[in-house]
Structures are given as C-alpha cells and as structure tokens.
C-alpha cells in the first residue's frame, strides 16, 4: 500500500517537536519488528523513555496478529489496522476502587473547596484516564519464499491515553505507509505535526493538520471518558439523561465503529448483548482477525452510549497479557471479573471455557494478493472482494426451519465447535428482558453484492442502529434524572446560603417508586413484564456506581456554578432590607466564607478577581449595617479585619491595634 499522493511532508519540521504538546495526544510512537530468533523487538520508541520495561513487552506482544488467526496467500503483502488496550504499570490508583468502597461525599466539606481543588488539578494534567494505554497498530506482513521462514512482519504503533479511534486510524493510514517508504524519519515528521495540534476538546469537531492535508474528526464527549483527577468538564445538558437534539454528534466511545457490518449475522442478538453490557457481564468475543476482533469490541462498547462504560475492555487480548494468568488461574465455579475480551486465538476457548457469555463474529479472510487497510465502512475488509457473510441476505427477515435447526445445533455443540469451523453465534444462558425491535431491523438496507454500495449502506444502517440504542439507553437512564437535578436559588432565598443537597438515593426506594409508576411508554412496549429485574441487575452491576457518582459530581459542579453566578448578580442592599439582625450576621459569615473560598480555590476561574471584588463590597455593605459592638467583636479576628481593610471603602472601620501577644484592641 502506498500513502495518498496528496500527502506531503515538510522536512524542516523534523526538529520542531514540542514533546509536552505531543503528550496531549500521543504517549509514544513505536516501530516493532518480529525477529525470528528473539521474538518481538522494539526498534524505535519516540520519545525515548516513555514506557517501562514491562510496558514495552506488553506493547510488543499486542502489536502482532496471532499466527493461527491468519490465512492468506503466501506471496502477498498483508496490511491491517487494529488497536489494543493494556494497563499501565506506573499509573495512579485513584479510581481503582470497589463499588462497596464508594461512599457519598461528606456534606460538611465545602463543595467550593472540593470543586476548586479538582479544577486546579485538572489544569495541571490532561483529563484522561492514565491507568490504561491504547495502542493503534499498522501491521504489515510480507510473504516472500526467498526470506527465512517465508516472510517478515513489522508494526507501526501509536500509543495514547485516549481512545480516539476516529483520530488515530486515519493517522495510521498516513503514517504506516510513510514509514515503509522513508523509514524512521516518518516518526519525526508525524510527531512534529501532532505536537502542533490544538488541545483535545472532547465532544467537539476538531480539524487536525497533517502534512498538506487535515483530519476532521468528532472526538467522543467528556461524559464518556473516565478521568484520573475527578473533575469532569461535562456540559449542563449531560446532567439529565435526555435524548440529544443533534444525533450526528458522538454520544459515547467508538462512534465510528461499524456496528452493522460487524454484527450483521447476529442482529437479532444485539438487544441481549446490550443488556449484558448494561449490567456489566463478562463477555468473550472471538473473531478470525484482529481488525474484526477489535471492531466487535468497539461496537459493543458503543451500544450503551451515553452511559459511562466502566467495565474493563480489551479490543485485542493475547495470552501474553498479565491479566490472562489471573483469569486462567480462576478456580472452578469462580465468577469472571467484568471484562470484554476480544481474541483471535482459539486457545482461549479452552483456557476460559467457563466464561458465561461467548460471541463469535466475522468470517475468515479470503485469499488475496494484497490486503489494503480497510475504510471506516468495511473494517478488516478487502476492497474489490466480499467476505462470505457480508453478501448474505439479512437473516432476520424471515424464520425458516433450517435456521432454527442450525441454531439448535450450534447451541448443542457449544463454542468449542469453532475449533473446526468458524461460525457467527452467541452462547449464553442469559434471558433478555428487552425484545428485538423488528421495526428497526426492517428499516435496515440490504446492499446486495456491490462493495461500493455495501460501504455506503453500512453507514446508513449504522446510523439507524446507533440512534435506536442511544434512545433505548437514554430512556432506560431517564428515571435517574431527578437525582442529578441542580437547584437554583429562589427569589425569596439568599444566594449566599449553602445550596440544598441533591436528592439522596436509596436503591430499594428507587425500585419501589419505579415499580409503582412504570418504566415509561418507550420501554413498556419493548420490554417484558420482568423489566424491573433489569434495573435491579443494573444497580448491582459494575457500571452503575461510577456512572451515578460521575453524574452527581457534574450536578454538584453545575449547582456550584449556578449559585456562584447568582451571588455575583445579587443586590446585597435589597437582600438585607428584610433580614433580621441574626440573619444579617449569618449572611456576613456566609459571604466571608465564599470570599475566602474564591481567594483560595477559585484561581482556575477567569472571573475570580471580579467575583472577589464583588464579594468584598458585599461584605463591607453587610458589615456597615451591623451594630458597633458587633462590628468590634467581628474584627477581633485578624484575618477578617484584613479582608475588610483590603477594600478601599473600609476607612470607617473602628481603629484597631495589634498587641504583641496577638490580642486586637479597638480604640
């Protein structure tokens, strides 16, 4: 494969890499070669020292297809793009806690302090989850009988903390062929361009220049991205789980995955898989090739948008991953941890034979003289050729006895039947609550035999499916909306008072209330009578607490902003006219507390200086209407006296003298 003729590089940029800016997008670029004597070797890693020794080993093993998963012409060049996800060895343990350890924040702790500290910290680091590393791979296998063992293979890898498939896949389509054309200089060229990209803005359409071209991509929204620092720059619209007005904007991770193309033979099973993902069940995905494998995992994760997906997922998992040893050592009858594992090695069928849910997707590659990197519409596909399952008529259109008998036979044989022949199937004992929506299935378009039409129709079908499951998830989450509703100050209340806490949540009370009023019309006609069991499993699952606490944190941040804005706009003179002396004293203490909070924790806000000036004036105004004896009592505190004297209007304060022992006397 050759790079696009429209792409050109500027050699003068090679020495202009801003490594600090580069880290906003990329951790490292790696060139990895498979050596017949020593195995996988990292030939180049830029910037150097970006990975630990253990991370280098994991990246190396994860950057090549399993040999047992490949079957193509021995006289060919085979290019493919896939991605993996591994745990970082030097990552912090900030969010690595069990659900039972998650508790509500102490209401006595100032929300201004908590939010202020989080904002300050977020300014010092990117808002990503650094516990995991994503590797985006351009792998080239060159088969030549003249070479030792008949061929060679090498991988170009982009490592990032961010799951931006919409960015790094097209970047690899440029960088991979460029490297095989000009060698290691390609790393410096690409790094120079990437280091000049703007700061990533989640949920935004960004334009990223690369050479004389540019990538225009939508980044996933912030509410779908885990964060190390606990501060979430989510928009106010994400507080309540309402269906977004613009459905063309990504609402979760992997919005660009080919959901229809990957699960075309299993469309009737998507609703069951959606439930398994929702409640956080472990799932093993088996596919013939790494591109098909990672596309299937990405497609499943995208099904539950806009829910924050907190289950560990591995788009391409190998036996060399340290997690495999832990899974393989599980005792008979032990439950698997919540994980989505994508594999190509059939050895996993025996090693993880107790996995409760197994999904087989894709079809073996046809022989070809050359494998070209897939387009978005046909991941892992061969332009000009059709895979066996991709030209079949959509199997959901009608029931036949033959299809029924085949399904019974597959279930009876179990997943080990894949050892002899690959078939698309789902093996699980899970009884789904949600019924497949045949009206959605009937809207899907069968493109027939034309690859070009197939690709364009796949985009349409993906949009239909993604819109439906977005609506399904949004309606499922809607009953939790009241627990994320921020309160605004009423006209009769003072904005300087502490805002009321968000409604407390009790699982049993929530289920009882939901049972009484029902799930709503949308879900009522799509779910069976035991729909409440799905909510109960969701509450006990791995996704609920991280998502719920994330939403609560965002709601508290939003409420803090609303009350802060109300304090700035308030007229203190009108407020104190109707107050008693005790209420005025309380207001003085509240304004003082907010002022100190702004001075200490508000430095991340652009308007902090103006807010401080407003609060100082309000503090002086309230102080001026207090009785003289109360004024003298209040300014005995040196810090308080200092706050009042900082204002140029405070010249009429009672004069004070600070004695050597720290006692303040008033004259």
Within a domain: 495: no
Residue 518 shares a structural domain with residue 450:
no
Residue 467 shares a structural domain with residue 332:
yes
Give the mean model confidence (pLDDT) for residues 425-440: 94
Of 72-76, 83-87, 389-393, 466-470, which gets the smallest average pLDDT?
A: 389-393
Residue 27 near residue 133, CB atoms below 8 Å: yes
C-alpha count within 13 angstroms, C-beta hemisphere, residue 195: 21
Smallest CA-to-CA distance from 198 within 187, 213, 208, 188 is with 208
Look over the chain and give the mean of its residue pLDDT values, rounded to a whole number. Answer: 79
Tens digits of residue pLDDT in 448-484: 556 666 677 888 899 999 999 999 999 999 999 999 9
Tens digits of residue pLDDT in 286-300: 999 999 999 999 999
Q: How confident is the model at residue 515 (pLDDT cuts 50, 70, 90)?
A: very high
Give the Cα separation of 271 and 275 in Å (integer): 6
Residue 24 shares a structural domain with residue 159:
yes
pLDDT of residue 227: 66
Q: How confident is the model at residue 97 (pLDDT cuts 50, 70, 90)?
A: very low
pLDDT of residue 585: 86
Confidence check: pLDDT of 397 > 50: no
Confidence check: pLDDT of 52 > 50: yes
Of 129-143, 364-378, 491-505, 567-581, which gets the smallest average pLDDT?
A: 364-378
Tens digits of residue pLDDT in 213-226: 899 999 999 888 87
Within a domain: 100: no
Confidence check: pLDDT of 667 > 60: no
Helix axis angle for 165-182 and 185-194, nearest 10°, is: 150
pLDDT of residue 115: 52
pLDDT of residue 400: 61
CATH number for the domain spanning 346: value is 3.40.50.11500
Confidence check: pLDDT of 365 > 70: no
Give the mean model confidence (pLDDT) for residues 370-389: 35
Q: How confident is the model at residue 578 (pLDDT cuts 50, 70, 90)?
A: confident
Beta carbons within 10 angstroms of residue 323's beta carbon:
16
Give percent of the chain above pLDDT 90. Answer: 43
Residue 44 shares a structural domain with residue 165:
yes
Tens digits of residue pLDDT in 632-649: 888 888 878 777 775 544
Beta carbons within 10 angstroms of residue 157's beta carbon:
25
Give the Cα separation of 587 and 496 in Å (integer): 7
> 487 versus 117: which is more confidently predicted?
487
Phi, psi of 151 (to 5 degrees): 165, -175
Question: Which of 434, 462, 477 is the last residue in one of the domains?
Answer: 477
Residue 437 shares a structural domain with residue 538:
no
Residue 466 shares a structural domain with residue 521:
no
Give percent of the chain above pLDDT 70. Answer: 74
Helices (H), 428-543: 438-443, 451-477, 507-517, 521-524, 531-540
Residue 137 shares a structural domain with residue 263:
no
Within a domain: 302: yes
- Cis peptide bond upstream of 47, omega within 30: yes
Residue 554 shares a structural domain with residue 456:
no
- When divided into structural domains, the chain yields a total of 3
Helix axis angle for 608-624 and 581-601, nearest 10°, is: 160
pLDDT of residue 245: 56
> 373 versus 148: which is more confidently predicted?
148
Question: What's the helix, strand, coil split of the chain in %, to 5?
Answer: 45, 15, 40
Report the Cα 314 to chain-centroid distance in Å.
13
Of 39-43, 102-106, 228-232, 569-573, which gets the smallest average pLDDT?
A: 102-106
Confidence check: pLDDT of 666 > 60: no
Residue 318 shares a structural domain with residue 423:
yes
pLDDT of residue 282: 96
Q: How confident is the model at residue 137 (pLDDT cuts 50, 70, 90)?
A: very high
Confidence check: pLDDT of 305 > 50: yes
pLDDT of residue 142: 82
Question: Which of 151, 173, 201 is the last residue in one of the domains?
Answer: 201
DSSP state of 329: T
Range of the domain at 356: 259-365+408-477
Give the Cα separation of 301 and 294 in Å (integer): 11
Residue 647 near residue 620, CB atoms below 8 Å: yes
pLDDT of residue 107: 39
Within a domain: 329: yes
The residue with tokens 């499993």 is 537
Tens digits of residue pLDDT in 106-128: 333 445 554 554 444 444 444 45
Within a domain: 215: no
CATH number for the domain spanning 196: value is 3.30.450.200
Residue 196 shares a structural domain with residue 140:
yes
For every residue of 97-108, DSSP letters joined together read --GGG--PPPTT
Give the E-state strand segments of 266-411 in sequence order: 283-286, 312-314, 339-343, 358-360, 370-371
Q: How confident is the model at residue 258 (pLDDT cuts 50, 70, 90)?
A: very high
Tens digits of residue pLDDT in 262-275: 999 999 999 999 99
Give the mean model confidence (pLDDT) for residues 178-199: 92
pLDDT of residue 160: 95
pLDDT of residue 16: 78
> 534 versus 613: which is more confidently predicted?
534
Within a domain: 608: yes
pLDDT of residue 263: 94
Residue 426 shares a structural domain with residue 471:
yes
Give the mean model confidence (pLDDT) for residues 27-36: 89
Within a domain: 217: no
- The tokens for 486 are 């921020």
Question: Which of 186, 201, 216 is the last residue in one of the domains?
Answer: 201
pLDDT of residue 368: 34
Confidence check: pLDDT of 614 > 50: yes
pLDDT of residue 648: 41
Residue 336 shares a structural domain with residue 263:
yes
pLDDT of residue 653: 42
pLDDT of residue 527: 93
Smallest CA-to-CA distance from 424 within 629, 263, 613, 218 is with 263
Q: How confident is the model at residue 319 (pLDDT cuts 50, 70, 90)?
A: very high
pLDDT of residue 656: 42
Within a domain: 655: no
pLDDT of residue 333: 78
């Amino acid at each position: 494969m050759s790079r696009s003729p429209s792409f050109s590089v500027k050699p003068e940029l090679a020495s202009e890499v801003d490594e600090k800016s580069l880290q906003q997008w990329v951790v490292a670029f790696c060139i990895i070669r498979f050596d017949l004597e020593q195995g996988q070797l990292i030939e180049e890693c830029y910037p150097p020292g970006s990975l630990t020794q253990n991370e280098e080993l994991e990246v190396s093993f994860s950057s090549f297809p399993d040999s047992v998963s490949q079957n193509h012409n021995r006289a060919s060049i085979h290019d493919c793009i896939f991605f993996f996800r591994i745990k970082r060895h030097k990552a912090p343990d900030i969010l690595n806690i069990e659900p039972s350890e998650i508790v509500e924040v102490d209401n006595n702790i100032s929300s201004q302090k908590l939010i202020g500290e989080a904002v300050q910290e977020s300014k010092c680091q990117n808002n990503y989850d650094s516990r995991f590393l994503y590797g985006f791979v351009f792998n080239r296998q060159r088969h030549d009988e003249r070479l030792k063992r008949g061929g060679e293979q090498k991988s170009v890898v982009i490592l990032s903390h961010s799951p931006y498939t919409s960015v790094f896949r097209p970047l690899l389509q440029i960088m991979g062929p460029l490297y095989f054309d000009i060698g290691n200089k390609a790393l410096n060229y690409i790094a120079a361009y990437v280091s000049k990209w703007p700061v990533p803005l989640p949920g935004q359409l960004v334009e990223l220049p690369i050479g004389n071209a540019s990538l225009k991509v939508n980044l996933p929204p912030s509410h779908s991205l885990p964060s190390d620092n606990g501060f979430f720059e989510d928009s106010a619209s994400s507080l309540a789980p309402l269906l977004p007005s613009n459905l063309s904007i990504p609402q979760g991770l992997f919005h660009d995955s080919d959901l229809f193309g990957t699960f075309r033979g299993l469309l009737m099973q998507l609703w069951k898989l959606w439930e398994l993902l929702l409640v956080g069940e472990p799932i093993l995905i088996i596919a013939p090739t790494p591109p098909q494998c990672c596309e299937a995992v990405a497609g499943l994760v995208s099904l539950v948008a806009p829910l924050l997906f907190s289950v560990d997922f591995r788009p391409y998992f190998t036996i060399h991953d340290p997690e495999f040893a832990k899974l393989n050592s599980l005792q008979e009858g032990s439950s698997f941890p919540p994980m989505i594992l994508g594999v190509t090695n059939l050895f996993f069928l025996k090693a993880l034979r107790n996995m409760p849910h197994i999904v087989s997707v894709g079809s073996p590659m046809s022989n070809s003289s050359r494998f070209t990197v897939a387009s978005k519409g046909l991941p892992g596909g061969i332009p000009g050729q059709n895979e066996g399952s991709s030209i079949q008529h959509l199997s959901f259109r009608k029931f036949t006895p033959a299809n029924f008998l085949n399904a019974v036979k597959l279930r009876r044989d179990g997943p080990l039947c894949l050892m002899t022949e690959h078939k698309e199937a789902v093996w699980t004992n899970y009884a789904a609550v949600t019924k497949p929506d045949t009206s959605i299935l009937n809207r899907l378009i069968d493109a027939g035999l034309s690859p070009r039409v197939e690709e364009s129709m796949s985009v349409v079908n993906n949009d239909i499916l993604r819109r439906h499951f977005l609506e399904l998830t949004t309606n499922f989450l809607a009953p939790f909306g009241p627990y994320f509703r921020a309160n605004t100050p009423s006209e009769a209340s003072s904005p300087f008072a502490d805002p009321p806490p968000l409604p407390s949540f009790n699982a049993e009370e929530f289920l009882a209330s939901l049972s009484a009023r029902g799930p709503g019309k949308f879900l009522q006609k799509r779910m069976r009578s035991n729909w409440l069991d799905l909510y109960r499993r969701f509450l006990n699952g791995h996704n609920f607490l991280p998502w719920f606490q994330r939403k609560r944190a965002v709601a508290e941040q939003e409420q803090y902003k609303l009350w802060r804005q109300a304090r700035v706009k308030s007229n203190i003179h009108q407020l104190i006219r109707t107050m008693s002396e005790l209420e005025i004293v309380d207001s003085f203490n509240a304004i003082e507390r907010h002022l100190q909070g702004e001075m200490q924790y508000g430095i991340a806000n652009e308007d902090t200086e103006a807010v401080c000036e407003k609060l100082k004036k309000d503090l002086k105004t309230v102080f001026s209407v207090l009785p003289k004896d109360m004024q003298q009592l209040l300014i005995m505190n040196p810090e308080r006296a200092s706050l009042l004297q900082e204002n140029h209007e405070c010249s009429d304060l009672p004069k004070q003298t600070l004695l050597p022992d720290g006692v303040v006397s008033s004259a």
